[in-house]
Amino acid sequence: MDKHIDRLNMIKHLYQVAIDPMAYEDLVDEWAKVIHSAMVAGEEDLYDVELAEHIVRAGEIFNRLDKTHGAPMVMPLAKAIELDPNPAILLDKNGYIVGANTLAGELLGARSGQPLSVLFSKQGHPPAKFQDLLEKLTAKESGVAGFLQLDSTNDHKALLLVLSHVTCVEDTRIVGILTNLAPIWSARTTEAVQEHFDLTSAETDIVQKLVNGKNVNQISHDRGTSVHTIRTQIKSVLAKTDMVTQLELVRHISFLQRFERPGAQYFPASACNHKTEFGATHHSLTLKSGRSLEYMLVGPPKGKPALFLHGMLDGTVFAREFIDQLFERNILLIAPSRPGHGNSDPYLDNSRVTSLFPDIIAQLLDSLNIEKLPVFSNMAGFYYGVLFAGTHAARVSAILGIACVLPITSREQLSQMSPSHRLVSSTANNSPGLLTLFIKAGIATVRSGNENLITNLAYKFSRSDFELSKQPETRAILHRRYHFLSKQGHSAFSVDAKQISCDWRGLINSVSCPITLIHGTEDFVFKVNAVREMAGKIKNCKLIEIENAGQLLLNAQPDVVLDQLDEVFSMSD
């Protein structure tokens, strides 16, 4: 009876998701129940002829109603500003807020649809001043319109803001952006200051507060210590840094902030013919087949090269801290968009992935005059790294696999996966037609602006990943990755799911170079015990287990990951 009810609910949600992509999570939950029941009962077939007919009909309805297929997948600027580590507000020509990142909402009370003049009037600024700035903004086609100061609603600290012109292709309403000019103080700055000046944690915290504009009384209040103690600690800092005044100290530390984002200095827009973004350049290679391969070069142009291969739910979008460390460590990532992803043309024949992909990568390396390098893979990228190393052994010095997928060799392995990932693996092998419908529904959810639904569904099974995914920069990166994945429709994900959802131990056994795996103990796709067992069977393989980490290792602990990549380079020197 329960099995019959599960099937009826499944059929109901099939038609519901065809009409409303927001029903995606319900469909996933219902199909997960069907899979679970089949596994418990030891059934091999997950669906029958009747269910297959409903899948086909729902797919036809979906295709007729889907108006977004092939639509440009440009990440809206209103979402991209979440990557800004400072508060940021987008304005239209009338001074209304078109978008505001989380920090702008928390610190300034900014909300979309609200006239910015309301924030001004609440803080006692004359309306004429804002109107004057707005007129300067709309009169310019580029550059800075002016500066203004607003108090934070949290601690009433004054924030110096700059209003500048911006052109937004996907939303022509946007004409200006208002951002904070405060310096960015990262964890790396803390380490550098402590290391070079031998400051204590308390002294470093005081320096940070001075740089951010706080006076002695404010620092005393924040730290819960006397003004006398703060003054004594400042004197100690001045002695250690060999500086005379607080002003000199602040000026020198602020100068240090110029190197806080080194990537931007290597790729000035005027000096590069390629599309650029923070620390990276976009390129395109025409393959022998006439197909186009998109790839990125991320890091210092003359750095040590490593091939980066992305997975299924990630891409070639990296956190700023990760890119900063690439420059510090002199590492250049060659990051192709695998066929069918981003702007790379799909395969000529999806049934020949195992022979086509290695040759595509070989052509890319040839075009860059690179004979041999390490392969740095993330998640499902490990499969493709193994595929390339197994067929082009002389070109791969080592493989570094992060949160990697494994060959699926047993039902027990499937049972240990999170429901959503078990669903993908089981469906890829048993019901490809239903998997296509799932992917199309997921893409429609992304294109309808509901990326958070996909994020919550993907990472809710790992405490560490779920908490990390709430951070503005991480969530913005995840959303960009979904658009990267779904830009050309469902085919790329379908191909990946079919390739990795099988037993490909033979590929791993064909690899002769050293393999290092880094895996989190909270990884919810492949449990660390399964990775440990597999690593023990792979020749020349080392496993590094990271406590309290999940799938998002690159975002959570870039230093740990890149330490291992440095070690790979040192082994091959």
pLDDT digits (tens, 9 = 90+) for 84-119: 657 888 888 888 888 888 778 877 888 888 888 877
Q: Kindly state the helix (H) or strand (E) to which residue 320 belongs, with its residue range.
A: helix 320-328
Do the Cβ atoms of 526 and 405 come closer than 8 Å?
yes
CA-wise closest residue to 468 among 336, 566, 321, 327? 321
Supply the pLDDT for residue 266: 32
Supply the pLDDT for residue 262: 39
In whole angstroms, give the CA distance from residue 427 to residue 181.
50
User: Mean pLDDT across the stretch 497-512?
Assistant: 85
Q: Kindly state the helix (H) or strand (E) to which residue 458 belongs, with its residue range.
A: helix 451-459
Query: 3-state DSSP helix/strand/coil percent for the chain, to nearest 5?
Result: 55, 15, 30
Between the CA of residue 19 and those of 22, 62, 161, 319, 444, what are the distances in Å?
9, 7, 45, 36, 10
Of the ranges 136-140, 197-201, 254-258, 555-559, the best mean pLDDT one: 555-559
Domain ranges of the chain: 2-65+424-460, 86-180, 187-259, 265-412+493-572
Of the ranges 11-15, 72-76, 225-229, the best mean pLDDT one: 225-229
In whole angstroms, give the CA distance from residue 493 to residue 346.
11
Among 22-36, 79-93, 507-521, whose mean pLDDT is lowest? Answer: 22-36
Supply the pLDDT for residue 41: 61
User: Mean pLDDT across the stretch 17-42?
Assistant: 63
Q: What is the 3-state secondary structure (H, E, C) of 338-352?
A: CCCCCCCCCCCCHHH
Among 66-75, 409-418, 442-451, 538-547, whose mean pLDDT is lowest? Answer: 66-75
Class of domain 265-412+493-572: alpha beta
Whether 456 has a pLDDT exceeding 50, the answer reads yes
Lookup: tokens for 484: 């990267």
Supply the pLDDT for residue 501: 77
In whole angstroms, give the CA distance from residue 348 to residue 339.
9
Q: Kindly state the helix (H) or strand (E) to which residue 290 belongs, with its residue range.
A: none
Whether 268 has a pLDDT exceeding 50, the answer reads no
In whole angstroms, give the CA distance from residue 565 to residue 328.
13
The CATH H-level superfamily of 86-180 is: PAS domain (3.30.450.20)
277 CB contacts (<8 Å, ≥6 apart)? none
In whole angstroms, give the CA distance from residue 19 to residue 124.
50
In whole angstroms, give the CA distance from residue 270 to residue 407.
47
Whether 76 has a pLDDT exceeding 70, the answer reads no
303 CB contacts (<8 Å, ≥6 apart)? 326, 327, 329, 330, 331, 332
Report the CATH fold assignment for 187-259.
Arc Repressor Mutant, subunit A (1.10.10)
Please tell me whether residue 462 adopts helix, strand or coil conformation.
Answer: coil
Question: For 141-154, what is each residue's pLDDT tens digit?
Answer: 656 777 777 776 66
Residue 362 amino acid letter: A
Give the pTM. 0.63
